[in-house]
Structure 1
Amino acid sequence: MINNVSHLLKTRRFLPLFVTQFLGAFNDNLFRTAMVMLVIYGIYRSEEQEAAFSALAGGLFILPFFLLSALSGQLADAIDKTRIIRAVKTAEIGIMLFGAAGLLLLNVPLMLIALTAMGVHSTFFGPIKYAILPQHLEADEVLGGTGLVEAGTYIAILGGTILGGLLVVQDQGGGYHAEYAALAVLLVALAGRIVCQFVPAAPPSTEDSGAINDPDMPRPGMDWHILRASISLVKATMHVPRLFVAIMAISFFWAMGAVLAAQFPPLVKNVFGGDQSVATLFLAIFSIGVALGSVIINWLLKGEVSARFAPISALLMGACVLALYVLSIGWTAFPELVGMRTFLAEPTGWPVVLALFGVATFGGMFVVPLYAFLTTTVPKAETARTVAANNIVNAGAMVGGTVLLVALTKLGVTIEQTLLLVVAGTLVSALLGRKLHRACVAAGCP
């Protein structure tokens, strides 16, 4: 699929959007990783504070998806998408000024403000990257173009994660600094703004949207009432049974993913005794695993959009999380934080990495086909709103997951024990995946 559309990387109708998306995902992960590493290793000294910060950071980034996705979906359908892209990328420069200042001054509130603003940035850019492709590509190029964008996103996540960890450095006195990370996030934001200027115009689609959403839903006018617009959009999308189950499966998966991702840095530091290089390794392994999972599931399904492997993928993911839990409670703590080489030299070091890799791989195998199902079973003119509705429900579930994580931490639940919560969540995800597959078979879907 990728080889057949590689020519798109030489065209203006695709390459500027691809690079803009790549730089945005890269900068998101560069800043977030640098911030988390700096706070966990250089500012806080309490295990409870560190766990609470990780959960709070995840919740603040996701909150704008919950509050503003309805507005972003309406805008993406109502005005030229390229105008939105340029406005969003201009805003990113200002956001990263706050972020860079927070990194330089070791100021946690400034970093969290920038993180929340980047969540707003991603909320408005997210629906566009799906909705703009059918306008710029031929019908037989859309699927391949989407694959290129997804592949680029995973590479950007991996690169940003690794660089964000490497640019947080420890001085001879034991303090941590992020001057290079502060400079990097500003340069990447500037590069994104320059590149997006070459994205071709993408005016609103005049295609009939069909009957996927509520026919009584007002359009094409904008509803600026955030709560009402969100409720209307979710209600109009979720009344379709197959979309309801798909969105619920994706949302429950990401709720558990939010719990797991929030625990990575404190898990590495306070349970496995690893320094920031080990935390970066964990995040990088997770990105590689998700990317590999998406490739494997596409090979298994041979391009067919189907949920038939979703239940077993969720169960295998749960088994790997359980293995990670067993390894964590049996881990012998180091007297001081150690680097990647020392960590991997431990007898159970590589099993920990392999368990984490399995979590990510099977997680990718579970969720990627559900996203493909969600975006290929609606008319083109409905894609942005459908993705926005999915983002609202996803965000609500992820915020709920992080709130639950903070509450459990306050009640004295250990980092290792929260992994059991994720195991339980994968069982529910498996049931939802099975229900979606049965619903599709009954309706004549693949």
Structure 2
Amino acid sequence: MLPLSDHRIAVIGLGYVGLPLAVAFSQKYPVLGFDINKKRIDELKQGYDKTREVSEQILLNSPGLDFTTDAQLLSSCTVFIVTVPTPIDSYKKPNLVPLLDASRTIGRILKKGDVVVYESTVYPGCTEDDCVPVLEAESGLEYNKDFFCGYSPERINPGDKINTFTRIKKVTSGSTPEAARFVDELYASVVEAGTHLASSIKVAEASKAIENAQRDINISFVNELALIFDRMDIDTTEVLEAAGTKWNFLKYKPGLVGGHCIGVDPYYLAYKAESLGYYPQVILSGRRVNDTMGIFVANKLVKLLIRKGHKIEGSKVLILGITFKENCPDIRNTRVTDVYRELKDFGMNVEVYDPWASAEQVSTEYGISLIPKPAGRYEAVLLTVAHDVFQTLDFKDFVKTDSVIFDLKSILPKESVDSRL
């Protein structure tokens, strides 16, 4: 393999994961960022990042970084890092279409000595069982003789300006000992937090799968507690605050579990387990709890309205927030939509306000029209996302004296709300 300094890197997929990675590597290597979305590439060339992960100044002042939609230009690169989405389909099964399409694109221009590194979240074995055959078929080259692979699971936390790409320790791996050392040295050259070299690609893949499955299970536990304590008329937040005084208590909070990782990755692990004849109990039970939280929230709001004497059909409801997490424009797999649709099924007039989200994206992805600002008076306000801006709102401007305020994130003063999750 060539010395590190002689390599040119291609980053395939320029979303929340790929763009920060491309920027970081461009500080030391020439980097070509590739995406099939022409609008995205045009915006990046003009210094605009709709994900708000990278500033205009950085985009316009990174001489080692270029962007393209032309796959043929990738032929000048020697290292290909794949950061495309790996979603699930409507049946909760892995959707590998973007990953395999990216592999085909790379395979068509792959050369002897090239290295392909996958960052997209997958089940153990996916890189070598699903992606490598595509690379071989498209290129006519032989794996681990003519070209090599690696896997380094993404650990980007959207919206987090402290734990950024270079400050999060990276797991690395390679298809041969030499390839593994190369991949590890490549990432170590730009990641300040250091690296952890896994013994195999499968180990690295599995490490990513269990990271988010573990969080999903822990959140499902506190969500189930919320379901139980609701029947006991106990404030779950107060219970968690009390339990949290013990040094080893894990401080997870109940809520809607969406996003590109926690609500998706456990299904990848479960899919692989089932293909081997094992049907996971704990992982899928946690998923079932978390997937039903939207219905619980909607029904809880309806009960609160009934208690205050409101007619349900026709009631005007304001949902504050539709992104999957606070202070971030990411709407991928948001479960706020579950609440929205359940309330609409009750015949309620539901409006959604979120200054962080793109109205165009929300409309395209979910068929929901965001309002520019709260207008009129609402029978109920449901706070679903803990954006800082929501704590500065004056609720008196759009609620009635008998309105219901339901705070899912427990960020508002307890005395000002009717219920918390």
TM range (shorter): under 0.3
Higher strand share: 2
The normalised TM-score by structure 1 is 0.22
The normalised TM-score by structure 2 is 0.23
Higher helix share: 1
User: Which is higher, the Rg of structure 1 or of structure 2?
Assistant: 2
Indicate the structure whose relative CO is greater, using CA pairs within 8 Å and at least 6 residues apart. Answer: 1
